[in-house]
Amino acid sequence: MSETAQRRPILFHAAALASGVIFGAGLAVSGMIHPQKVKAFLNLSLIRSGQWDPSLAIVLAMAVIITMGALRVAHRRRRPLAAASFSQPHARRVDGELVIGAAIFGIGWGLAGLCPGPALADLVSTFPSILLFLGAMLAGMTLVHVWRLRARRQSAPVEEVET
């Protein structure tokens, strides 16, 4: 194994650590770890009174712009510095599962004012109160995982008969 290949796992973990620190710091500095700030963005009825908070849109826009630029630069390389290959999403179509999942996520985000990243960042500042949210989020993810496993097991015999 070459020296470069041996260093890749170390670089990968160092990059993951640095990304996490930058992401968490960005969430904290921008105030996106505060559910009331997110809810003030999601509540469009506040526009008329002048109390609507557009800061989440600014954070999202900056994230997209910076990521687009970084991906353009990164994909000029044959392969990434810290991994064997670039990771690309396999699914490219919008299906019912995506739409339903997005709607459920949106409902949860609107009710709580939190999504997974800020919730994890909140562990530092609001530790006890955030545990219920994170536990419920993990329970929901586990339920979907179990449901998918069960659906795969039920459809497996049918696929074996057809082939």
- How large is the average pLDDT for residues 51-56? 93
Whether residue 16 lies inside any domain: the answer is yes
* Domain assignment of residue 98, yes or no: no
**Residue 15 falls within a domain, yes or no?**
yes
Residue with tokens 């009825």: 45
On the question of pLDDT at 23 being above 70, the answer is: yes
- Write down the residue that tokens 């990304």 correspond to: 19
> Average pLDDT in the 41-53 region?
92
Burial (CB < 10 A; 0-12, 13-18, 19+), residue 113, is buried
- Cβ partners under 8 Å of residue 27, min gap 6: 33, 117, 118, 121
Q: Is residue 143 part of a domain?
A: no
Range of the domain at 63: 3-92
Average pLDDT over residues 77-105: 85
pLDDT tens across 106-155, in order? 888 888 888 888 888 778 776 677 888 888 889 999 999 999 999 889 88
- For residues 151 and 139, give the distance between their C-alpha atoms in angstroms, rounded to a whole number: 18
pLDDT of 163 over the 70 cut: no
156 part of a folded domain: no
From 128, 135, 120, select the one nearest 27 (Cα to Cα): 120
Residue 75 domain-assigned (yes or no)? yes
Q: What is the mean pLDDT of residues 41-48?
A: 91
Does 30 map to a domain?
yes
In a domain, 160, yes or no: no
Question: What is the count of structural domains for the chain?
Answer: 1
Distance of CA 18 to the CA centre of its chain: 17
